[in-house]
Amino acid sequence: MLSGLRIIEFEALGPAPFAAMMLADLGAEVIVIHRKSGGDTPGKPSENILDRGKRSIALDLKSAQDIAIARKLLSTADGLIEGFRPGVMERLGLGPNDIGAFNPSLVYGRMTGWGQSGPRAQQAGHDLNYISLTGALWYASNPNEPPFTPPTLVGDIGGGALYLVVGMLSALINARQTHQGAVVDAAIVDGTAHMMALLLSLRSSGGLKTERGQSTLDGPHWSRCYACKGGGFISVQCLEPKFYAAFLKLLELDQDVDFLNQFDKSLWPELGARLGGIFVGQTQDHWAQVFAGTDACVAPVLSPDGSTKDPHMAARGIWQHIQGHLQPAPAPRFSTWAPQAPAQIRPKDADRQDILEELRKRETDAPRSI
């Protein structure tokens, strides 16, 4: 799908390599510049599925010789992805103005938590901090309880990596038309706040309240998870009345006057407690069978390993084991193009000789001052 597109990625953690992985999954050629010395990046395994489908060269960005190699690589690139704090790339002589001087059509993707400007731009932070400040974490708890720590998906991936990919692709399309590159300032706080538009759209109808447990999707007995007998959990979210009716019928509660008042907020705590007592009386497998094939909007809460055994997930080939790692298949899917199975993870610096030879050949064929 993205064949012919070359992206140079500077090694980082989290959302930046995830975004580059998505582009590689979609067929782009991604060359990741790994750190040459100092061992592996803290918190990043030596063999990382986020590096799948990428070529690798290790460079020391404190070395003038290796900086020169990086610049030569960037002269051949359509896009760049980096996840350093603002100003780091400029101090290395690899900032947007530096690269734009010899590759004006390059799309320069910058992935940060706080953005390139603002009072917090130079501060450290992580997913939990970013979603806290944007208001996204506010609804991640039960009433009168501290918000729980969700997986690093809402900020790093949802508000970060995916917005970087959208920004990169938009700027790349524009560059193809205008031959003018752009800087993509992908800040996790920007993207996460933007995702809040869906929740905020419920405000005008009274569906979103500041008070916890009073909103359409965070307070009802029909929009939560319940514990099952013997461990395990079941998720319920039957918002629409016809789906709620199917839910009640399967539980033989369709004649219960209180349960028929789906949107009576005063009943939500009591009805939630009653449902809790019902669900804990049987195992997760039992409830999965009860609701299988129905429109009651109920599903078991599975671990990633458990998810691999689900018939639907298995039928779509969503999970695959490659090189001993559990990996998700590339997404989304296209009617006209199918990516290969998750590509191999190349060892760090595995492509050094090939990449350097390509650069030497390019210089011989078409000398270029950079």
Give me Rg for the CA atoms of the chain.
25
What does the block give as tokens for 271? 């009805």
Q: Are 316 and 263 in contact (CB under 8 A)?
A: no
H-helix segments, the chain: 15-25, 64-75, 88-91, 96-100, 127-134, 162-178, 188-195, 197-200, 241-250, 257-260, 268-279, 284-291, 304-307, 311-315, 352-365
Q: How many CA atoms lie within 13 A of 368 on its CB side?
A: 18
Helix or strand run (H / E) with residue 235: strand 233-237
Q: Is the dihedral of CA 143, 299, 303, 53 positive or negative?
A: negative
Q: Is the dihedral of CA 152, 156, 157, 159 positive or negative?
A: positive
Q: Active-site residue 221, yes or no? A: no
Q: Active-site residue 51, yes or no? A: no
Residue of 78, 156, 190, 351 with catalytic role: 156
**Buried b vs exposed e over 162-200: b needs ≥16 C-beta within 10 Å?**
bbbbebbbebbeebeeeeebbbbbbbbbbbbbebbeebe
Residue of 40, 126, 310, 349 with catalytic role: 126
Q: Are 16 and 162 in contact (CB under 8 A)?
A: no
- Residues designated catalytic: 126, 156
